[in-house]
Each structure stands twice: as C-alpha cells, then as structure tokens.
Structure 1
Amino acid sequence: MTLYYTLVFMLLVAEMGLFLLLILPLPFAMRRKVFTFISENPIVAKVQYWLKITFVFILILFIDSVNRVYRVQLELAAASETTGPNVPTIHGHERLEVQARKFYSQRNMYLCGFTLFLSLILNRTYIMILEVLRLEERLKQYEGTGSTGSPTSGKKKPAGDLEAEVTRLRAELDRRDRDLDTLKKQAQGLHKEYDSLADKYESTQKASKDDSRKDK
C-alpha cells in the first residue's frame, strides 16, 4: 500500500474511533461540554478546514481508483472475448498480475469510498447530536416552566401550549434518536464490509504466494 493510501486508511480508522466517541452514552452535562468545546474551539475549526481539503484529495483518489477498476475490467473482458488460435490470451502469471491489479484497484476504491461515506455519516451525526442537545435544553426549560408556573423569560404561557410544545419536542427527540440508530446501523455495516474486504485481501495474498511458489 502506497503512502497516501496508508494515510487514507489511518484517517478511516480515526473516523471509526471518532464515531464511537460520538455515540457513547455520556451524561447530558458532559456531552454538552464536549460538543460546546468542539463547536467553539478555534483549533478544532482549523482541523475541520484542513480535513475538508483532505477529503477533496480523497475524492480525487476515489475517482482515479474507479477509473482503474473500469480499465482492468475492460482488459479482462477483452481478453476473455478474443479467444482463438492466433489471438494471444492471458495465462498463468500474466492473468494473476491482472487479477492482482484488479483487486488493488478495488481495494483502493472501497477504502476511499468508505472514508468519504463515513465522513458524511460523521458530519450528519454531529449535526443531529447538536440538534438533540438543543431540543433537550428546550424541553427541560419547558418542563421547568410547567412545574414552577413561571417561565425563565418572565412571560407566562398557557398550560395547554406548554404541554403541546413538550409533546412536540419529545416527538422530535424520538425522531432524532431513530435517525441516530439508523446511522449506527449504517456504520456497523460499513465496518463489516471493510472487514470482509480485508479478509479477501489476505486470502488473495496467500493465493498469489502459493501460485508464485508453484511457478518456481
């Protein structure tokens, strides 16, 4: 694996760790402090800016890997269709080399694609958690208003309006929780898919070593 794809893999692992950190069941006060620090810290803002530039380069690598996969597929298709006594075909180590190039291109495509996809999931999860925190704060304010009978702003609202607002906020929180569960399932499927790709890569490496020993 080349240096830039190694960096992409390290970024993918970092995204997985960050996603696990986001979905940890932390207390409300601690989670609010953490997300307030992330959203207001200037160093984090600079890191996010450079990460956006990095993802642009990863997108270019993804497009290049897709192009390579397409070209290898065309090469294999052309070799399988043009068969005859006077037409050269791919045999032995040459076919193994083409299959290896196909696998490496697919690996790079999946690696860059998973990294970009997980970045979108992280961004959406971060925004949704901020909205959930905001809704929980508003819900606590309305519940406190309903229990004490005097809102923090000094203006008194009817009890029916407060109950309707609390019901709406609870429904909004439930919807956000369902969306977060969906994102968690997508991230888990992404992790399983990458594990299967890694297992396939190991089996291909073993097969290539065995074939090279047989050729010797």
Structure 2
Amino acid sequence: MSLQWTLVAGFLYGEMAIILLFIAPFISAKTWQRFFRSRFLQVVSQQATWYFAIIFAILALLFLDAIREMRKYSGKEATEHAHLESELQISMRLFRAQRNFYISGFALFLSLVIKRLASLNSKQAQLLAENEAALKQAKSATTTARTLLNNQGAGEDAQNTSNEAHQVELNKLQQEIEAQKKEIESLKKDKEAVVSQAKSLEKEYDRLTEEHRKLQLKVNVSGESKKDE
C-alpha cells in the first residue's frame, strides 16, 4: 500500500476510534459538552471549518481517483486474457483500486458521521441542561405555591389569583419538559441510527481486507508455480 493510502487508512482507523468514543456509554453528553467548550477547542474551532473542508476535499479527490482506477482496470479485465499472470496482475490492481475506493469512501462518510455525532451530543447536553433548569424552576414554583397555600389569610382572593398564576406557570413548565424529553429521545434515535451505519461499514471494510489477503496469497502461489516451471 502506497504512503498516501496508508495515511488515508490510518485516518479511517482514527475516525473509527473517535466514533467508538462518541458512543461509549461511560462518557456522558455533559462531559462532551464540557470538552467542546474547553479553551483548547475554542481556539481550534476558529480554524476547524477550514481544516475539515481541506481534509474533505483531499479525501474526495482520492475517492475520485480510486473510481478512475476501477474503471480503468475493469475495462482491461474484459479484454486481456492472453496470459494467466497478466490476468492475475490486472485482477490484483483492480482489487487494490476497489480497496482504495472503499477506504476513501468510508473515510468520507465517517467524517460526516463524526460531525453529526458531535452535533447530536452537543444538542443533547444542551437539552439536558435546559431540562434540569426547568425541573428546578418547577420545584421552586411548587414550593412557593405550597407556602402560599399554607399561609392563607385575609387576602384569600389575591392569593387564589396568585395560585392560579403559579399553576399556569407549572403547566407551562411541564409542557416544556415534555417537549424537551421528546426531543432528547429523537436525538438518541438519530445517534443510534448513525452508530448502526458506522458498524456496518466497519464490517464491510474487514471483509474487503480478508479478500485482499486471499488474493495476495493467490498471486504469490501463482508466481512461485511459474518459477518452478
């Protein structure tokens, strides 16, 4: 494997490791939120958009180059059958082009997956914080309402009006909490769907690696048998 594709494969493995960290159950959304708001990332985030665009463009060019190689050797495979060794060489080059196609394609896809997971984790942490704040506010309003109810006196009419206002506020807060819970559940479902796609891509890459190993062994055996002849 050439240097550029070795770097792309290393980048792909790094993306897989980052995705595993994102879906790790022992790292909460609040932890990721604190990490995203750290000073280091605040400085890096100013140039992060440019870095992401440059890396994405490089991967896209490599992806297109792999497609070109696949089309090139696919055409040769259909016309050149004069010699077993040349046919095996063409098959080997075609498989390498296909391998590079999947490596660059998976790297492109996982870069978008990582960006989406980071956004979902940040949004989930924000919603959890808002939910906790709303719960605290609702508890405070409930405590105030109970205190007012226990201290009923001459101003009963005014107090009833205040109790009604607190009840309206409680109902509003409960509605906000329910809406935030539904949004959190939706974010969790989106995150699970993205993780499932990433796992299926990882399995497909492992399968292609095994096929490459078998084909390489076949080429070596063919070369040795030709030398013996």
TM-score range, shorter chain: 0.7 to 0.9
Once residues 130 and 107 of structure 1 are traced to their aligned partners in structure 2, the CA distance between those partners, rounded to angstroms, is 34
Q: For structure 1, which runs of at least 5 residues remain unmatched after alignment?
A: 80-88
Task: Give yes or no for the alignment of 1:204 onto 2:215.
Answer: yes
| TM-score normalized by the length of structure 1 | 0.86
Q: In the alignment, what sits opposite 1:75?
A: 76
Question: What is the match of residue 3 of structure 1?
Answer: 3
Give the aligned partner of residue 152 of structure 2: none
CA shift in 2, pair 1:10/1:133, >3 Å: same
CA distance in 2, matches of 1:14, 1:44: 19
d(CA) in 2 for partners of 1:19 and 1:37? 20
Aligned length: 203
Shift of 1:41: 2.5
Q: Does 1:145 align with 2:137?
A: yes
Which residue among 175, 186, 189 is the counterpart of 1:178? 189
Confirm or deny: 8 A CA contact 1:38 1:44 kept in the other structure: no
> 1:1-216 to 2 correspondence within 5 Å?
1-25=1-25, 26-37=27-38, 40-43=41-44, 45-46=46-47, 49-79=50-80, 89-149=81-141, 158-216=169-227
Taking the aligned partners of 2:24 and 2:40, their CA distance within structure 1 comes to 18
Residues 21-77 of structure 1: per-residue CA shift (max 9 Å, x gap)? 122222454333112228842135435532431221111010011011012212223
Q: Which protein has greater RCO, CA pairs closer than 8 Å, 6+ apart?
A: 2
Segments of structure 2 that go 5 or more residues without pairing to the other structure are 143-164
* SS class of match (1:41): helix
Q: Deviations over 1:5-31 (max 9, x none)?
A: 111111111111111112222245433
Q: Percent identity?
A: 25
SS in 1 for 2:37: helix
- Check whether the contact 1:39–1:45 (CA below 8 A) recurs between aligned residues: no
One-letter code aligned to 1:56: A
Deviation at 1:106, TM superposition (A): 0.4
Structure of higher CA gyration radius: 2
Deviation string 1:97-117 (CA, Å, 9 cap, x unpaired) is 110110010011111001001
Distance in 2 between the 1:164 and 1:24 partners?
31
TM-score, scaled relative to structure 2: 0.82
Query: Which of structure 1's runs of 4+ aligned residues deviate more than 4 A?
Result: none
